[in-house]
Amino acid sequence: MRPFDFAQVNTVHDAIGHTGDGSAYLAGGTTLVDLMKLEVLTPSHVLDINRLLLRDVRLDGRGLHIGALARMSAVATDRRVVTEYPVLARALLASASGQLRNMASIGGNLLQRTRCGYFRDITTPCNKRQPGSGCSALHGENRTHAVLGTSDQCVATHASDLAVALVALDAVVELAGRTGQRSVPLADFYREPGTTPQVENDLRPGELITGVIVPRTAG
């Protein structure tokens, strides 16, 4: 792991103000720390956002609101989620181990990077990790890779079971950035690889996921 600066923030405004090139947000760390150890990600500045008040889970007339820092285990066992959104509870419980779910955040789960072995191996070409270097999976071991939504640049799959359930429920992701707040349907948030597989989503520089809204289900 390469050296990096570390800081903690207390508000969303401060979190956004501290970001810049080479920065990374730290929530549960279940993806970021692993990739930093492998030197797949090498941020020069890590910003701990765990003090932000983004862990609430509430249900109102608009639907289910889940804070970005809510832990996966807490959401999976929330009575309102289990009762009214059982597909979310099942998707969360199918994700990783209990220990990881206790640490991993909802926002971090949605932004986790692919588990493609070539992406995680810095000795092999990967367009997602190093644009223009090539895709080792195209002609290598790729039985577990994507079939739909691929390109001749990348066939990696997204790792989130939760994202699939949220897209099916027409969930909206809430974002905060230097220019203000905005909401994006999760189905539009993720991008297909095309010719730029390193651009995985619609997150703008310095933006932070603050929460997810799941509309009320019929009946």
What are 6-28's pLDDT values in tens digits? 999 999 999 997 777 789 999 99
How far is Cα 147 from Cα 47, in angstroms, rounded to an integer? 36
Q: What 8-state DSSP symbol labels residue 217?
A: P
pLDDT tens per residue across span 30-49:
999 999 999 999 999 999 99
Q: Where are the domains of the chain?
A: 53-113+159-215
**Whole-structure pTM value:** 0.93
Name the pLDDT band for 202 (thresholds 50, 70, 90): very high
Integer angstrom CA distances of residue 41 from 22, 77, 113, 156, 195: 10, 32, 10, 17, 21
What is the CATH number assigned to the segment(s) 53-113+159-215? 3.30.465.10
Residue from 1, 186, 213, 218 nearest 110 by CA: 186
On whether the CB atoms of residues 186 and 163 are closer than 8 A, the answer is yes
Strand ranges across the sheet with 23-26: 5-8, 45-48, 23-26
- pLDDT for the residue numbered 206: 85
Burial group, residue 196, by CB count within 10 angstroms (0-12, 13-18, 19+): middle
Q: How many CA atoms lie within 13 A of 8 on its CB side?
A: 4
DSSP of 85-137, one letter per residue?
-HHHHHHHHTSS-HHHHHH-BHHHHHHPPP--TTTT-TTS-BTTTSTTS-BGG
Task: Say whether pLDDT at 129 is over 90.
Answer: yes
